Structure 1
Amino acid sequence: MASSESRSNLDDPTTSPFDVAALAAQQLAEATGVPRHDIALTLGSGWGKAADHLGEEVASVPAEQIEGFSASGVVGHSGTLRSFRMADGRHALVIGARTHFYEGKGVRRVVHSVRTAAAAGATVMVLTNGAGGIKRSWTPGTPVLISDHINLTAASPLEGATFVDLTDLYSARLRAVAREVEADLDEGVYVQFRGPHYETPAEVRMAETIGGTIVGMSTALEAIAAREAGMEILGMSLITNLAAGIQSEPLSHAEVLAAGRAAESRLARLLADIVGRL
């Protein structure tokens, strides 16, 4: 198995990232004893406790033991891959080892978890994050469905002449299922910046001008890779703070973590109830 200190075949541009994902999925099956996972979730800041409500935990694997993964480099992320048996017999793969674009490990590493989930059999990808809100009525702790995104990273996980339609990237069907659980869930357009610095007030105004209502540093690249892999995508943001220039106080990662901790019990039950219906 791979080590977080070693290079991965993902770093070799002549190697197919899908072959590496297939190898990782095989290692994951061996490590968990689960040959196929039906649904996958990437749990961002504030969403971590949702895993404990999904069902019976079958296995927990340190991410760095699986090819192409590394220990989480961000406080608030568990650094594990966990397998759960849900009440209906399906298996959920919970990814607590997100690689962010700003870590400088390359786009392949950023989307490797999604491609591994697809190779493991998952047909639904749930992507969550903690993010800044542009909509003034949102308060810290508000969960919001992602209806679309704007990718401002100047990067794409697609390689070569690969053309993928993103018209309905975030599934309207899955958003409707989420509203069966909580009818008043609002939705918005997620804007992914490169990070790791927070956005300036001027950049937030720009994001709002071009149609954004949520700002963050993840998710969009992963969603594109999930669509390429043929997965159906549900995206959800926890609004941890109002974006720069909208709230008067300086932004901080400690604030993000604090908002996540305050909301995590409610979010855990909400997301688990939604996933049970997907």
Structure 2
Amino acid sequence: MADTSSIIENNLYDPISYDVVSVSAEYIKKRTTYRPEIGIICGSGLDPYIGGLAELVNKADIFPYEEIPNFPVSTVPGHVGRLLLGNLENVPVVIMQGRFHSYEGYELWKTAMPVRVMKLLGVKKIIVTNAGGGLNKAFQVGDIMVMKDHINLPGFSCQHPLRGPNDERFGPRFFPTNDLYCHEYRKLARKVGIELRLEGVIREGVYIMLGGPNYETVAELKMLREMGVDSVGMSTIPETIVAHHCGIKVFACSLITNMCIVEYGSGIETNHEEVMEVGHRRAEDLKKFVTKMVEKMSSI
């Protein structure tokens, strides 16, 4: 397999191609005996807490992002910035502590590139988490919203993680997304919620990705509510689309860390510290929920 430099020299360079991503995957494979079945992406504000799953992973092999060839590096406060491979509840997993965002300056293909690395590591199922703002009036801060669908707003202007040359070794040029979020996993999440006594906490809804880094205006939020949006964030969709494209089954959820402000003059401001604080308060429930989902998903 050619390294990245030879790919560039031969004018075959596509930054998210099979050959380039293989360099990252092979680096990891040569340094671990784990072959993960399930990938987990820990979102902004949730990373130190869902990232606490690392404590439950037996004898994890740890890969800082900056050491993995071709891998982006996270710049967001609250993100650790490393991959962990090991067994969680006897299930081989890879945990991504810290993700990447367009507002950091990364192209959308780069924010989702680690998902393709997971694919080449053997991942067949993925759990993607994020911290989201609640727009549904029935939601409360601390709820966990299972994603049943999304609105890819950047995609309306052709800002897409799969824009550019398509590598058929990952998936087809054109593909459906009407069942992107696995219905079976969503049903499973409701059962897990009951088992963990989180019946009033587990919700289901539609998530929308905006570019950030600013939080939304009142006018924008009123428009999104009219569109049927339940939760708003700045991530996740590039990763779930790329996962679905390459045949990975997807489960995703938002921790509702704040309720969106839809009235002028409220005197309330959304801030990153608030997101982190809610993540901290819901830490143990999130760890239990994701761990139980891994255990159940592994048998399906």
Is this a same-fold pair by TM over 0.5?
yes
Task: Please identify, of 43-52 and 91-100, the stretch whose mean Cα deviation from structure 2 is larger.
Answer: 43-52
Q: Any gaps of 5 or more consecutive residues in structure 2?
A: 167-172
Per the alignment, residue 70 of structure 1 pairs with 72
Amino acid at match of 1:38: E
Per the alignment, residue 97 of structure 1 pairs with 98
What whole-Å deviation, never above 9, does each CA across 1:137-167 have from its counterpart, x for those lacking one? 3222111100000011231112347212101
For 2:190 and 2:151, the matched residues in 1 are separated by: 23
Q: Give the aligned CA root-mean-square deviation in angstroms.
A: 2.1
Question: Once the two structures are aligned, what percentage of the paired residues are identical?
Answer: 30
Equivalenced residue count is 268
Per the alignment, residue 206 of structure 2 pairs with 189
Task: Please identify, of 56-65 and 194-203, the stretch whose mean Cα deviation from structure 2 is larger.
Answer: 56-65
Indicate yes or no: 2:252 matched with 1:235: yes
Q: Any gaps of 5 or more consecutive residues in structure 1?
A: 1-6
Q: How far off its partner does 1:55 sit?
A: 3.5
Per the alignment, residue 222 of structure 1 pairs with 239
For 2:261 and 2:118, the matched residues in 1 are separated by: 34
Q: Radius of gyration: which is bigger? A: 2
Per the alignment, residue 215 of structure 2 pairs with 198
Indicate yes or no: 2:290 matched with 1:271: yes
Moved over 4 A (4+): none
What's the TM-score once normalised by structure 1's chain length? Answer: 0.90
What whole-Å deviation, never above 9, does each CA across 1:213-266 have from its counterpart, x for those lacking one? 100000111111111111100001000000132694111111111111111111
Q: How far off its partner does 1:54 sit?
A: 4.8
Matches for 1:131-170 after TM superposition, within 5 Å: 131-153=132-154, 154=157, 155-158=159-162, 159-160=164-165, 162-170=173-181
Amino acid at match of 1:157: P
For 2:76 and 2:282, the matched residues in 1 are separated by: 19
What's the TM-score once normalised by structure 2's chain length? Answer: 0.83
Task: Please identify, of 48-57 and 78-87, the stretch whose mean Cα deviation from structure 2 is larger.
Answer: 48-57
Per the alignment, residue 4 of structure 1 pairs with none
Amino acid at match of 1:173: E
For 1:16 and 1:72, the matched residues in 2 are separated by: 18
SS in 2 for 1:67: coil
Q: How far off its partner does 1:49 sit?
A: 3.7
SS in 2 for 1:182: helix
